[in-house]
Amino acid sequence: MFVLVNLKTYPCDPIAIAEAVRDVNDTTDARLAVAPQAAHIERVAETGVETWAQHVDPIEYGSNTGHTLAETAADAGAVGTLINHSERRLKLADIDGALRAAERSDLETIVCANNPTQVGAAAALEPDAVAVEPPELIGTGTPVSQADPDIVRDAVEAAETVDPDVAVLCGAGISTGDDVVSASDLGTEGVLLASGVAKADDPTAALESLVEPL
């Protein structure tokens, strides 16, 4: 299972969490990575942890004030990027453009979607993976894999129908190893999570408990 810890803009210590993710990654067969804010990518990547961008824009080098260029994220050490996170929505044409920008920089891609219908549309754009995240469950501690298993099952089916090569992940409310096991049982290849680690008193213990049953 792939476990991507999204730090959003939480007031956590990105380096301490990056080191915890790196160290727990070394103890498990699961693949752990962290997605810090753009300004922290370089320092986080220097810890040796697998580092992802939270977003890249559908742009090239040029006059794009305030944007995130895929090439710059990759130069800073990112190996992948989220696109169209629920908190950073893009229009369809811009999701496509961001995917092409990520491809130029050899960034692995996960396109986020609210529901199975959007998962199917996202899969048609040929990302490496799609992630279904019901917005109403994000940050609640109520895990999508247990609270709404049908949305995860339907997302897996929707992506499979469009392009069987596109992996499916799920996210929202995931915070325990049981949540991750449920996600795996539903056919996903990974989870996105944030508050369960970024807001934990002891991020290392939170990460250890997440991967313990895997």
* Site for ligand G3P, rule CB under 6 A: 6, 85, 133, 138-139, 171-174, 192-196
Least CB distance to ligand G3P at residue 135 (A): 8
195 is in an annotated binding site: yes
User: Which of 45/174 has CB closer to ligand G3P?
Assistant: 174
Is 8 annotated among the ligand-binding residues?
A: yes
Classify 62 in phi/psi space as left (phi over 0), alpha (psi -120 to 50) or beta: left
Radius of gyration from C-alpha coordinates of the chain = 16
Among 133, 136, 157, 212, which one carries the catalytic annotation?
133
Q: Name which of 52 and 154 has its Cβ closer to ligand G3P.
A: 52
Which amino acid, residue 139? G
Closer CB to ligand G3P, 5 or 158, in the complex? 5
Would residue 85 show up in a list of annotated catalytic residues for this protein? yes
The reply, when asked if residue 110 is annotated as ligand binding, is: no
Q: Is 133 one of the annotated active-site residues of the chain?
A: yes
Report the b/e string of 7-35 with b at 16+ CB within 10 A. bbeeebebeebbbbbbbbbeebebebbbb
Determine if residue 91 is labeled as part of a ligand binding site.
Answer: no
Cα separation, 181 vs 149, in Å, equals 12
Cα–Cα distance measured from residue 122 to residue 161, given in angstroms and rounded to the nearest whole number: 12
Query: Catalytic residue positions?
Result: 85, 133
Positions at the binding site for substrate? 6-8, 138, 173, 194-195
